[in-house]
């Protein structure tokens, strides 16, 4: 009897396995469906719209003219800034946005019409620090296989241009700052693709040598000495591409406090003394307020492997509702303090004919296609529909009844993009595509300032928020 029961169970399992195989085979597109689809035809207005869409850019076709006409470039509070900067063909938005957030106070302090820091100088040291971090991590992880998930992320992009707010602040605190004339742009600082490609090729080759040394049991001092030789080679390659970073320089300026102007006497600075005297700001007093739906609010989150300097902490964000981010960004801008922020810049962004408009309804995609796009912000993050990819600066806001209706955004794509280099971000776009903003602690409530000091919850480097460390 038991034998018969066992046989019956075996037969049942075989039948179920066969049924599963049939169901799996039926997962493709059946011919019957293809036949039905091929018999359908667009008619009337739908056919005419298909002709239009097939022959034009969908963005041109879907432009919401009514929304476009309703746009205006008026803001009732604007922070005075200098000329629009241009990162050109490089992924340095985080550096440009960082400088754009602090240079207005330099211009005000010295009564300058225009002023610009050297982005090239900070990029030089960023690449040196990234090279060191990569080489050291390859030593630390020498016992892992090359297809280890974390190690693959380390190997993927060791020295790219992208970065994050704390990359900026950590570099400034260690290396100081210089005015643009002390280390101006080079061709390769503004067009970094080939420079990056070749230096990354070399640093990856170096990393395998260090990995072999560590795996074979070389003394740590031997490995460290070899790494120093490699870093000296990377430094040489960077100097060839970007120029020699100054250790001291002379700065003078012309004040615009009257019709004649006052030209100062030349004064010698080091990058560190220039930072302390000209800026004199504790960059450690800023907090990253970010909106990450699906994670607990009022908690700190740190991203593992998300730093550009080996000996500095990974970046941390304080997760809050989007209205909280907005409230403190508004408070800061109304106090004439620019705000660095991160967003998905490519979504519902109209930039043509001297316009820069970020508005949810600037394109009528749903009406054109006759479908609805209804994913929540949380779902879009997790399905990788949106991703943090660009940093810019709020330099103004238009308010009504003490609420922000649209924000004035300073970009770093030059004056020929957007509306002479600026964009206007409407409130709904802020909610949907903005990830977060960097706010000085003096604007935060005591409660939020206290929460920002809590030990962060660590997230893996494959978390949807991890791309924040590669804003470009």
Predicted pLDDT of residue 20: 46
Q: What's the CA gap between 465 and 54, in Å, rounded? A: 36
Q: What distance separates the 2 farthest-apart alpha carbons in the chain?
A: 110
- Residue ranges of domains in the chain: 58-87+282-472, 108-281
Catalytic residue of the set 100, 196, 411, 470: 411
β strands within 256-295, DSSP E: 262-263, 267-269, 286-290
What is the structure's pLDDT at 1? Answer: 42
What local confidence, expressed as pLDDT, does residue 13 receive?
A: 43
Q: Are 447 and 437 in contact (CB under 8 A)?
A: no
Per-residue pLDDT of 334-358, as tens digits, reads 999 999 999 999 999 999 999 999 9
Which one of the listed residues 132, 196, 343, 390 is annotated catalytic?
390
Q: What angle do CA 457, 463, 468 make, to 5 degrees?
A: 90
38 is catalytic: no
C-alpha Rg value of the chain to the nearest Å: 27
Q: Which fold has domain 108-281?
A: Cathepsin B; Chain A (3.90.70)
CA distances (Å), origin 261, targets 104, 106, 254, 319: 19, 17, 6, 47
Q: Is 7 designated active site?
A: no
Q: Which residues of the chain have pLDDT under 50?
A: 1-24
Task: Dump pLDDT digits (tens) for 245-304.
Answer: 999 999 999 887 665 568 889 999 999 999 999 987 899 999 999 999 999 999 999 999
| Residue 261 near residue 254, CB atoms below 8 Å | yes
Q: ∠94-414-272 over CA atoms, to 5°? A: 45
Whether the predicted model's global pTM rises above the 0.75 cut: yes
Find, among 203, 284, 288, 275, the residue nearest to 238 by Cα.
Answer: 203
Tell which residue, 306, 426, 281, has the closest CA to residue 362: 426
How confident is the model at residue 12, as a pLDDT? 44
Question: 348 to each of 343, 364, 413, 424, 468, how far by Cα in Å?
Answer: 12, 10, 17, 12, 20
Decide if 411 is catalytic: yes
pLDDT at 146: 96
CATH architecture, domain defined by 58-87+282-472: Alpha-Beta Complex (3.90)
CB 410 within 8 A of CB 421: yes
**Cβ 167 vs Cβ 133: under 8 Å:** no
How far, in Å, CA of 84 to CA of 138, rounded?
40
Look at residue 76 in the predicted model and tell me its pLDDT: 96
Q: Are the beta carbons of 428 and 67 closer than 8 angstroms? A: no
Report the pLDDT value the prediction gives residue 345, as an integer from 0 to 100. 98
> What's the chain's length in residues?
472
**Which residue out of 86, 93, 188, 469 is catalytically annotated?**
93
pLDDT of residue 46: 83
Non-local CB neighbours of 401 within 8 Å, separated by 6+ positions: none
pLDDT at 279: 87
């Amino acid at each position: 009897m038991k034998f018969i029961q066992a046989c019956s169970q075996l037969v049942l399992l075989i039948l179920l396995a066969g049924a599963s195989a049939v169901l799996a085979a039926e997962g493709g597109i059946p011919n019957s469906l293809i036949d039905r689809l091929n018999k359908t035809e667009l008619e009337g207005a739908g056919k005419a719209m298909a002709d239009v869409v097939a022959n034009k850019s969908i963005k041109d076709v879907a432009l919401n003219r009514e929304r476009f006409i309703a746009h205006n470039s008026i803001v009732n509070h604007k922070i005075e800034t200098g000329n629009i900067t241009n990162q050109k063909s490089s992924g340095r938005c985080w550096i440009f946005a960082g400088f754009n957030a602090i240079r207005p106070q330099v211009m005000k302090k010295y009564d300058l019409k225009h002023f610009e820091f050297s982005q090239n100088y900070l990029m030089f040291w960023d690449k040196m620090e990234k090279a060191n971090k990569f080489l050291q991590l390859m030593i630390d992880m020498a016992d892992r296989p090359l297809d280890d998930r974390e190690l693959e992320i380390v190997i993927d992009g060791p020295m790219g241009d992208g970065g994050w707010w704390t990359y900026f602040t950590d570099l400034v605190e260690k290396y100081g700052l210089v005015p643009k004339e002390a280390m101006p742009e080079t061709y390769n600082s503004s067009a970094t693709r080939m420079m990056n490609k070749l230096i990354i090729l070399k640093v990856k080759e170096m990393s395998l040598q260090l990995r072999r040394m560590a795996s074979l049991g070389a003394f740590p001092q031997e490995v460290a000495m070899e790494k120093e030789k490699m870093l000296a080679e990377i430094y040489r390659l960077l100097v060839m591409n970007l120029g020699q970073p100054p250790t001291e320089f002379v700065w003078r300026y012309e004040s615009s406090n009257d019709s004649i102007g006052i030209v100062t006497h030349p004064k010698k600075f080091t990058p560190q003394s220039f930072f302390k005297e000209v800026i004199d700001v504790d960059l450690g007093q800023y907090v990253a307020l970010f909106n990450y739906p699906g994670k607990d609010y009022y908690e700190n989150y740190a991203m593992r492997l998300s730093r550009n300097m080996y000996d500095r902490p990974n970046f941390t964000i304080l997760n809050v509702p989007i209205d909280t981010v907005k409230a403190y960004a508004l408070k800061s801008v109304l106090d004439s303090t620019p705000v660095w922020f991160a967003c998905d810049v490519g979504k519902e962004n109209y930039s043509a004919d001297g316009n820069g408009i970020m508005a949810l309804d600037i394109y009528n995609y749903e009406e054109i296609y006759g479908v609805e796009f209804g994913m929540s912000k949380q779902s879009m993050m997790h399905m990788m529909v949106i991703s943090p990819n660009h940093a810019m600066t709020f330099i103004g806001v238009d308010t009504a009844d003490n609420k922000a209706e649209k924000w004035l955004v300073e970009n770093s794509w030059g004056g020929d993009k957007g509306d002479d280099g600026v964009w206007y971000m409407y409130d709904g776009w802020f909610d949907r595509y903005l990830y977060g903003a960097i706010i000085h602690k003096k604007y935060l409530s005591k409660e939020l300032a206290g929460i920002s000091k809590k030990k962060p919850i660590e997230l893996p480097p494959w978390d949807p928020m991890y791309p924040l460390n590669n804003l470009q």
